[in-house]
Amino acid sequence: MKLVVLIFLILSSLVASYPGIRTSLSMSSLNEFLQAKLPKVVSEVLASKIPDIKFSKNFLGIPISLKLSKIEISTLSIDTSNAEFTTTDQGQLLLTLPHFNLLVEGIYTYYIPFPISEYFNITMIDCNVVLPTTISTLKNGLVQVKVSPLEGDLSTLTIDIIPKNTISTIWVTISHLWPLSIYTNKVVVNLVDSISTRLNPYLEKFFNSIKYTDQIGKLPIVGDYHFFNIDLTKDTIEAEVNGTFFLINAPGQKSNVIPPSTLPDIIGMAPIRVQFTEYYFDSLMWALYFSGGLSFYIKSEDMPDDVPYVFTTTGLSKIAPNLPNVYGQNIPVDLQCSVYKVPVVTILQSVYISASVNCNFIVRISSINKVTAFTVISQLNTRIEASIKNQNGGIYVIPSLDNGNTDFTDFSLINSKIGSFSLSKMISAFNYYVYAIVLDANNFFESSGMILPLPEGLQAEKVNFNTYIGGVEIDFDPVFVDS
């Protein structure tokens, strides 16, 4: 499976990018996740141990060594409920940790060469710590979010030293804390960086939980949800996703689907918005067609009980009167139906699908002798509805055929070996059985569905569907579930 995906990605990289899916994640949604995880990060930092630090330096021509030991974080507090990611006018993503309070205590020892040891503490009171952050797509189509190390001037740090004897007092006076202030600054930088170091795995796990490929039920069809572009606005993270499909059993099979020339606008206002473009649906229809998922063969004896006719030459004589005259009485008739070209999808105020269907009525004269008595072609027209389901740690779209807007039209009789006959009863029979086709299709989609390319741990509330020319949009409020 992994090899198939890799082959497909190499092939798809040669194709011009047009999104089958676009997503829009509000900064407030990302901040909700941040504010849920940050208290854990602070607890981890407070529980960590800071190792001793040693430095060597020349001061006024005198070689000295400095050791910082027994370093402890006495206080570390952040207003986690107001921590946030923001975007600058230049498109830079920043993480702000507001009301940052810190007290670090320890012992410093100068060796000049004799040791001078005293207590020190470093204090930061009600500061705003700002950490540069990047969000990007990798070459393999995955999303990466990374909080970078601290940048900025820490010269405003308050560093207190408690001299306990005359020598210490003189040393503090002549050195003016140098080079202690430089290295204690590094302690603070390392400590703040440890926040980003511990936060990054949470962000990495969050975005790596996106299912970048997802098989549709047991069909040999896989949706490709790798990202190829991310843009930042003041309030949102906008992403473009492949949102196309490929075949497991034929990864080299190239889709002939041509993307539209324009992209529809996203119109919703919810915190999370996912738009499926017409290209997504066209690619799905292509995959269903070439996978063989739109065809079936039913033997006479396996025909469902609720089919209104017995599938024998005698039983079907009510539709095709000359059938028993040509092939004899009570000879079994099998039914083979398939969609014979890629279905057409039209998106207006709803999603409509039109499929060209041909059905062969095959007389099974013997186990090795079968004859197609006649073929009926028609158009199957349907309208697609959808719902959302939170399942398996993800959010799935469950499509369904609208039974009240599904029917067969435009019937024609071709290649008949029993002469011509009226198709009126055939038309009635096909449309009578539409409900069973709809039921089977909806049962399949109910058990599989189409996953949204979003991280695990999200559930959808207040879901709203918008359908407009060229796109279907799903808008909802996220609920974060700890995972």
What's the CATH code of the domain at 437?
A: 3.15.20.10
**Residue that has been written with the tokens 């109910």 in this structure:** 446
Judged against a pLDDT cut of 80, whether residue 157 lies above it is answered with no
Domain limits for position 35 = 26-208
With both helix axes pointing from N to C terminus, report the angle between 424-432 and 434-447 in degrees, rounded to the nearest 10. 30
Share of the chain above pLDDT 70, in %: 89
What is the C-alpha to C-alpha distance for residues 423 and 411, in angstroms, rounded to an integer?
A: 8
Judged against a pLDDT cut of 60, whether residue 50 lies above it is answered with yes
- Choosing from 181, 208, 235, the residue where a domain stops is 208
Give pLDDT, residue 16.
Answer: 46
Q: How far is CA 441 from CA 106, 381, 446, in A?
A: 69, 14, 9
Residue 242 lies in a domain: no
> What is the pLDDT of the chain when averaged over all its residues?
86
Residue 384 lies in a domain: yes
**Residue that has been written with the tokens 């560093």 in this structure:** 159
What is the C-alpha to C-alpha distance for residues 75 and 102, in angstroms, rounded to an integer?
A: 5
Residues 158 and 300 in one domain: no
Query: What's the average model confidence in pLDDT over 224-243?
Result: 93
Residues 161 and 280 in one domain: no
Angle at 463 between CA 460 and CA 467, to 5 degrees: 130
Residues 304 and 447 in one domain: yes
Residue 108 lies in a domain: yes
What is the C-alpha to C-alpha distance for residues 454 and 227, in angstroms, rounded to an integer?
A: 11
Lowest-confidence region among 200-204, 408-412, 429-433: 429-433
- Of 5, 22, 16, the closest CA to residue 472 belongs to 22
Per the structure, the count of domains in the chain is 2
What are the tens digits of pLDDT across the range 107-144?
888 777 777 777 877 888 888 888 899 999 988 889 99
Residues 352 and 442 in one domain: yes
Residues 263 and 197 in one domain: no
Residue 163 lies in a domain: yes
Angle at 134 between CA 136 and CA 75, to 5 degrees: 145
Which residues, other chains included, contact 374 with Cβ-Cβ below 8 Å and sequence gap of 6+? Answer: 320, 361, 413, 414, 415, 416, 417, 418
Residue 226 lies in a domain: no
- Cβ atoms 308, 433 nearer than 8 A: yes
Residue 264 lies in a domain: yes
CATH number, domain at 63? 3.15.10.10
Residues 277 and 181 in one domain: no
- Cβ atoms 288, 306 nearer than 8 A: no
Give pLDDT, residue 199.
Answer: 92
- Of 74, 96, 67, the closest CA to residue 184 belongs to 67
**Predicted TM-score of the model (pTM):** 0.83
Residues 301 and 190 in one domain: no
Residues 196 and 264 in one domain: no
Residue 123 lies in a domain: yes
Residue type for position 23: T
DSSP letter for each residue of 392-432: TTEEEEEEEE-GGG-EEEEEEEES-SS-----HHHHHHHHH
What is the C-alpha to C-alpha distance for residues 230 and 210, in angstroms, rounded to an integer?
A: 15
446: alpha, beta or left? (left if phi > 0; alpha if psi -120 to 50): alpha
Query: What's the average model confidence in pLDDT over 238-250?
Result: 90
What are the tens digits of pLDDT across the range 147-156?
987 765 555 5
Residues 168 and 294 in one domain: no
Residues 52 and 193 in one domain: yes
Residues 200 and 135 in one domain: yes
3-state secondary structure of 236: strand
- Choosing from 208, 243, 274, the residue where a domain stops is 208
Give pLDDT, residue 87.
Answer: 93
Write down the number of H helices and E strands in the chain.
8, 24
Residues 299 and 438 in one domain: yes
Residue 227 lies in a domain: no
Task: Give the pLDDT band of residue 167 (cuts 50, 70, 90).
Answer: very low
Give pLDDT, residue 275.
Answer: 96
Judged against a pLDDT cut of 50, whether residue 231 lies above it is answered with yes
